[in-house]
Amino acid sequence: MRFFLDTVDTDEIAALVETGLIEGVTTNPTLIAQSRRSQRDVIRDICSLLEGPVSAEVIATDYEEIVKEAHVLADLASNVVVKIPVTFDGLKACKTLHKEAIPVNATLCFSPLQALLAARAGAAYISPFMGRIDDCGQEGRKLIEEIRDLYNYDHDWDTEILAASVRHPKHVLEAAHAGAHIVTVAPSVFRSLYVHPLTDIGLEKFLQDWRASQEN
């Protein structure tokens, strides 16, 4: 499973890309709004920080407008992936953009059937929202398992499962076990993945013992 960052914080993206472990970035209208910058500027800045795919979401909801907006977003940088909700118009736009070789991240996925249709429409990525499903008392992990099962039946599909709305390390582990190809996480979640108190205690003890041996 690969790791993307779900953020518009360019300082964090630059710092974490340096680890070599981050292969893409996802954004959404809420994150862009919180940045108080234009989507164009934010996406251009992020795209300059890494070669991997950077998802930029459309605001339009009807087919013609989605396609028009997708063209503007795709022109911002060669690594832009256009993020489109899995609605009737969104799926239709996804099929059109697929024919034009513009990659689409089909977002706001909450059911296996939406994921099936997105794959048929040629989406490069499907984004099931784990956290928001858990918020409803259901299990995000199960949705990813179901999508993975369905995708395994048809090897013609290139759609990758991009686990989204990932709120904590347990979601990351569940996404990996369920067969997600990619997980997108906030920088704070990424930074929590390698932390373990026994690592810190063990390191401190090793260093203490080493320093003591050098004094003798």
What does the binding site for ligand E4P look like in residue numbers (CB under 6 A)?
6, 26, 28, 107, 127, 129, 131-132, 164-165, 184
Which one from 68, 83, 95, 170 is the annotated catalytic residue? 83
Question: Would the CA dihedral through 90, 6, 32, 49 be positive or negative?
Answer: negative
CB of residue 205 to ligand E4P, shortest distance in Å? 38
Cβ-proximal residue to ligand E4P, closest one: 165
CB of residue 149 to ligand E4P, shortest distance in Å? 22
Q: How far apart are CA 120 and CA 157, in angstroms?
A: 8
CB of residue 191 to ligand E4P, shortest distance in Å? 16
Q: Are 39 and 31 in contact (CB under 8 A)?
A: no
Q: Which letter does DSSP use for residue 167 in this model? A: -
Minimum CB distance to ligand E4P smaller for 33 or for 201: 33
Q: How far apart are CA 44 and CA 39, in angstroms?
A: 8
- Residue at token pair 């934010």: 42
Cα Rg for the chain, rounded, in angstroms? 19
Residue 142 is among the residues annotated as catalytic for this protein: no
Minimum CB distance to ligand E4P smaller for 57 or for 122: 57
CB of residue 153 to ligand E4P, shortest distance in Å? 25
Q: How many residues does the chain have?
A: 216
Q: What are the b/e assignments for 51-65, b being 16+ CB within 10 Å?
A: ebbbbbbbebeebee
Please, where are the H alpha helices in 20-139? 29-35, 39-47, 63-74, 88-99, 112-120, 130-135
Minimum CB distance to ligand E4P smaller for 28 or for 39: 28
Minimum CB distance to ligand E4P smaller for 107 or for 114: 107
Residues annotated as catalytic are 83
